[in-house]
Amino acid sequence: MQAIQDSYPDNVAHCYGCGSQNAHGHRIRTFQEGEETVTRFTPEAYHTAIPGFVYGGLLASLIDCHGTATAAAARYRAEGREIGSAPVLRFVTASLSVSFLKPTPLGGELEIRGRVKELRGRKVIVEASVFADGVETVRGEVVAAEMPASFGN
């Protein structure tokens, strides 16, 4: 099945969280399921916070990159364009907020589900949650902004 990230052009596919070209990254893959998006990721033992539980920074990065993928897909859909088509829309994280509702158990697959809360101008706001065994353990919000041409300058 085609993931949203599969359509990122190679020159924007180096992100540590979601870039297919980053051999050291998480390389998450996000799928559209109706109005929601879904990513599945299984943390490794080295992603430990305290024994038995997943490190919060990892969980935040899953929300982050799940959110930017959801944002890109939403904007392409809103413009009636195929994702990844030129001119490429590139989104970066303007703001990331994460609430850790419960400890997230280490040792199984996590499901991250997202939905668009607002799509306006150069900004897309995405809400996303992490579920472990069907239990919501983390809830977050990503404000994704279209990357200006001057980015990095």
Ligand X SMILES: CCCCCCCCCCCC(=O)SCCNC(=O)CCNC(=O)[C@H](O)C(C)(C)COP(=O)(O)OP(=O)(O)OC[C@H]1O[C@@H](n2cnc3c(N)ncnc32)[C@H](O)[C@@H]1OP(=O)(O)O
**Which one, 48 or 93, has the nearer CB to ligand X?**
93
Q: How far is the CB of 42 from ligand X (least distance, A)?
A: 21
Q: How far is the CB of 82 from ligand X (least distance, A)?
A: 10
**Which one, 103 or 145, has the nearer CB to ligand X?**
145
**Which one, 64 or 132, has the nearer CB to ligand X?**
64
Give dist(CA 146, CA 33) in Å, integer.
23
Site residues, ligand X (CB under 6 A): 8, 12, 15, 18, 64-65, 68, 72, 83-84, 88-95, 120-123, 143, 145, 147-148, 151
Give dist(CA 25, CA 42) in Å, integer.
13
- On whether the CB atoms of residues 76 and 89 are closer than 8 A, the answer is yes
**Which one, 49 or 145, has the nearer CB to ligand X?**
145
Of the candidates 29, 152, 7, the one whose C-alpha atom is nearest the C-alpha of residue 75 is 7
**Which one, 10 or 33, has the nearer CB to ligand X?**
10
Structure token pair of residue 144: 């994704």
Structure token pair of residue 148: 């200006």
Q: How far is the CB of 147 from ligand X (least distance, A)?
A: 6
Q: Which helix (H) or strand (E) holds 62?
A: helix 56-78
DSSP-based three-state secondary structure for 45 = helix
Q: How far is the CB of 78 from ligand X (least distance, A)?
A: 14
Q: How far is the CB of 61 from ligand X (least distance, A)?
A: 8
Q: How far is CA 28 from CA 78, 120, 148, in A?
A: 23, 26, 24
